[in-house]
Amino acid sequence: EEIDLIEEEWLIDIDVQNGFGSDKLNRVGVLTDASDFYDEWDAFEPPLVPGGVSMRIDNTHWDEANDIYSTDIKSVSEQGHFWDLNVVAQDEDRNVIVTFDGISDIPEDFDIFLIDKSIGTAQNLSSRDTYIYPAGRTSNQRDFRLVIGTREFVEENNAGVSLYPDAFALSQNFPNPFNPKTTILLSIENEAVVDLVVYNLLGETVTTLAQEEYLQPGYYNFIWSGYNEQGNRVASGLYLYSTIIKSPSGKVLLNQTRKMIFVK
């Protein structure tokens, strides 16, 4: 539904897909005649289609019969608002892609962060409006918080997750051992140029996940699906992943290698 917005109002549409299905009818935002609890601007989340994907706004603190919503519009606030979100994906072989549309309409003095409560990272949606992760094998639900507001408001409502890393780091991949996919997390403290490569035990390149990629401060997920650069599935066994992180001037800030195990 198209809504004519006045200056202090804004809406963000959220699209979730996994290659098999999609859930496009999700919306958060603020309107002058909306309340912070259930009203005419809010909508319940429909049932999940088998094998599909669904984004749910968690409002279990409301008194309404339904706890999950596809739309939650709140009142205009000078400080900000946050929404707790659950994404449910039933196909573990596919990546889940979450896209946010309308970010340019929020106030210029507001920050907007998507906090992945399941792994304890945050993404600044002002610079990257799409979040990608692999569906889990042990759990098909991922828990997020979308927080939009002043810097102080965002930091006070960050669900205990640091918004920016305080050091450069290459984390252990998860899950490990893995099949079919694994996530490699890079923490970028300052602007940097990044290489991230997967090797076999002979030191041969299996695949390149990042090559001289210029990254802003933040957390970055790189997903490896167990395929080499020729598009072939690799054999079970031990693999290495290595990163070299440099400053824009070329100074090496981090050079680190870790091990991971692929199983079939």
- For residue 45, give every residue at least 6 positions away whose Cβ sits within 8 Å of its Cβ, in sequence order, or none: 54, 55, 56, 57, 66, 68, 69, 70
Peptide linkage before 165 cis (omega within 30 of 0)? no
Instruction: Output the six-digit token pair for 253.
Output: 């800030």
Mind listing the domains of the chain with CATH numbers? 10-156 (no CATH), 169-262 (2.60.40.2550)
- For residue 76, give every residue at least 6 positions away whose Cβ sits within 8 Å of its Cβ, in sequence order, or none: 8, 9, 30, 31, 32
CA 217, CA 199: separation in Å to the nearest integer?
A: 26
pLDDT at 137: 61
C-alpha 28 chain-centroid distance: 17
Q: How confident is the model at residue 20 (pLDDT cuts 50, 70, 90)?
A: confident
C-alpha 162 chain-centroid distance: 14
Instruction: Please state the rounded mean pLDDT for residues 49-61.
Output: 88
Q: What is the DSSP letter of 172?
A: P
What are the C-alpha distances in Å from 26 to residues 58, 65, 98, 196?
12, 19, 11, 34
Phi first, then psi: give them for residue 42, nearest 5 degrees: -100, 155
pLDDT at 260: 98
Count Cα atoms within 13 angstroms, Cβ side, for 241. Answer: 25
Task: Check whether 138 has a pLDDT greater than 60.
Answer: no
Q: How confident is the model at residue 66 (pLDDT cuts 50, 70, 90)?
A: confident
Q: Which of 83, 76, 73, 88 is nearest to 113 (CA)?
A: 83
154 near 174, Cβ under 8 Å? no
For the chain, give the mean pLDDT: 94
Q: Which residues pair with 134 in a beta bridge?
A: 95
Instruction: Output the six-digit token pair for 163.
Output: 């918004």
pTM for this prediction: 0.91
Q: How confident is the model at residue 139 (pLDDT cuts 50, 70, 90)?
A: low
Task: Check whether 131 has a pLDDT greater than 70.
Answer: yes
